[in-house]
Amino acid sequence: MQTEQMSLITPKWILTLENDDLLENHSLLIDQHIIKDILPTTDARETYPSTKEIELPNQLLMPGFVNCHGHAAMNLFKGLADDLPLMTWLEKHIWPAEGQWVSEEFVKDGTKLAIAEMLKSGTTCFSDMYFFPEQAADVAAEYGMRGVFYGPVMDFPTPYGSGPDEYIEKIIKAHDHFKHHPLIDIGFGPHAPYTVSDEPIKQVRALADQLNMPIQIHLHETEFEVIDAVEKTGHRPSERLRDLGLFGEDVQAVHVTQANQTDMDIFHKYGVHVIHCPESNLKLASGFCPIYALQQNGVNVALGTDGSASNNDLDMMGEMHTAALLAKAVAQNASAIPALEAVKMATINGAKALGKETEIGSLKVGKQADIISIDFNDIACTPVYDPISHLVYSSSRSQVDHVWVAGKLQVKNKQLCHFNVQQLMDMSQSWAEKIQASK
């Protein structure tokens, strides 16, 4: 039986990421929110003759990007403080700005702006660690965007709460509110080893086990973080978190620019996922995540953009490109992280890191229809010998043509379907004027 919500998509290529094959002359059928079929186009037209067909000549159909780390509302701080080392950037600029401006309204508006940018550049699922996660999740739910929202846990007060107990209470409340939502998950976001003491970390681990909630933490972001921890405690931050029992397959460690064999062995043993944010790390001069060595040691590595205040964009195609090139230089191996592996880091590896590999991250019958198309009708992508190579080394986010999240068309012919772009731009400029006037 066919429904009005069925669509047959016919591109030139389909990259399923279920294997390393690149399908040509195939079509994909969306039925409501799931992938119903993938089959040769001639068979598809015979099998589903009355289904609406969307023809995408010279385009690549693939899973949507999974942005595994960011701070969406910080889009409203984009360009506020640049060209500074991490701690100066945080302590002198970002934390004071957050103390003055972050509120439920700020988070809602900033998240809306970020979701629009992410959808236009092909991201169909994002992971967000920021204040007021319930409000951010409300915006994602309203616009049909898939997301995992990690409420921050820190030892000190912020506009979000007075300390660890209040943060944890609010995160659990958000989890209870969204626990049956098909697109939204809530997790714990202990900020970093240097901002969270032992007892809150133990509490987060116990509650995550009890409520089946994921955990995300900034870890080994800079050399100073590791040196300082060793001088004060005699242990690397990864060893401390291991000893506190935090690590497990539901934990994502973000940044990890400093990783020795001890760290890699710990991550592998406990199934910790590493989230690589190459452009943010480069801009803040935080260091280089050794992603090739991590993968050689059996650690799943996925990609994130970080927030727009330190990147300054939410462009997963750019992150793929940077990650692939940077990995070769760090490993001193031109074969490290080939194009296909970079694509996996931006899709199926991210789905695994978020515990969603059975739902998203590849194109497979029965999975959620989180799908994007990349338009190679562009002078920068001519000629095409290998579309996967072009995807990583030649393409840009302006070539994202169509985007579906859970079968809902979000971007059509490079245009957002459900946002008033002018209103978004006016809103963000209004925030900028207020923030600038207060400096």
SS3 annotation, 46-58 = HHCCCCEEEEEEE
Residue 206 neighbours by CB under 8 Å, 6+ apart:
none
For residue 87, what pLDDT band results from cuts at 50, 70 and 90? confident
Q: DSSP E strands: which ranges in 167-227?
A: 184-190, 215-219
pLDDT for res 381: 92
pLDDT in tens, 266-278: 999 999 999 999 9
Q: Which tens digit of pLDDT belongs to each residue from 337-362?
A: 999 999 999 999 999 999 999 999 99
CATH architecture of 65-353: Alpha-Beta Barrel (3.20)
Q: What is the pLDDT of residues 383-392, one digit of tens each?
A: 999 999 999 9
173 closest CA partner among 139, 205, 134: 134
> What are the structure tokens assigned to 128, written together?
């967000």
Highest mean pLDDT among 18-32, 73-87, 200-214: 200-214
pLDDT beyond 70 at 4: no
Q: Give Dmax over CA atoms of the chain in angstroms.
A: 69
88-130: pLDDT as tens digits? 988 999 989 999 999 999 999 999 999 999 999 999 999 999 9
pLDDT reading at 180 higher than 90: yes
Distance (Å, rounded) from C-alpha 32 to C-alpha 398? 27
* Sign of the torsion angle spanned by Cα atoms 126, 95, 223, 192: negative
Q: Of residues 406 and 439, which shows the higher confidence score?
A: 406
Does residue 3 register a pLDDT over 80?
no
Q: How far is CA 164 from CA 152, 330, 389, 432, in A?
A: 9, 38, 46, 31
Check pLDDT > 50 for residue 1.
Answer: no
CATH 2.30.40.10 domain range(s) in the chain: 6-63+365-416
Contact in structure between 404 and 410 (CB atoms under 8 Å): yes
CATH 2.30.40.10 fits 6-63+365-416, yes or no: yes
> Per-residue pLDDT averaged across 228-233, rounded?
96
Helices (H), 74-183: 86-88, 95-101, 104-120, 133-143, 164-178
* pLDDT at 12 > cutoff 80: yes
Q: Is the pLDDT of residue 247 over 90?
A: yes
- Which helix (DSSP H) or strand (DSSP E) does residue 295 occupy? helix 291-296
Strand stretches in 196-272, DSSP E: 215-219, 251-255
Distance CA 196, CA 193 (A): 5
Q: What mean pLDDT value characterizes the chain?
A: 96
Q: What angle do CA 126, 127, 131 make, to 5 degrees?
A: 125
* C-beta of residue 256 within 8 angstroms of C-beta of residue 276: yes
Per DSSP, 64 falls in state P
Q: What is the reported pLDDT for 5? A: 76
Q: What is the pLDDT of residue 2?
A: 46
From-to residues of CATH 3.20.20.140 in the chain:
65-353
Average pLDDT over residues 227-237: 97
| Rounded mean pLDDT, 38-66 | 97
Distance from the first to the final alpha carbon of the chain: 61
C-alpha dist (Å) from residue 412 to 119, 416, 418: 11, 7, 10
Q: Which amino acid is at 334?
A: A
Query: pLDDT tens digits for 200-230?
Result: 999 999 999 999 999 999 999 999 999 999 9
In degrees to the nearest 10, what's the CA dihedral of 34, 36, 38, 42?
Answer: -130
Q: Which residues pair with 52 in a beta bridge?
A: 7
Amino acid at 335: S
Mean of pLDDT values over 158-163: 94
Residue 249 has which token pair? 């397959």
How far apart are alpha carbons 174 and 211 in whole angstroms? 12
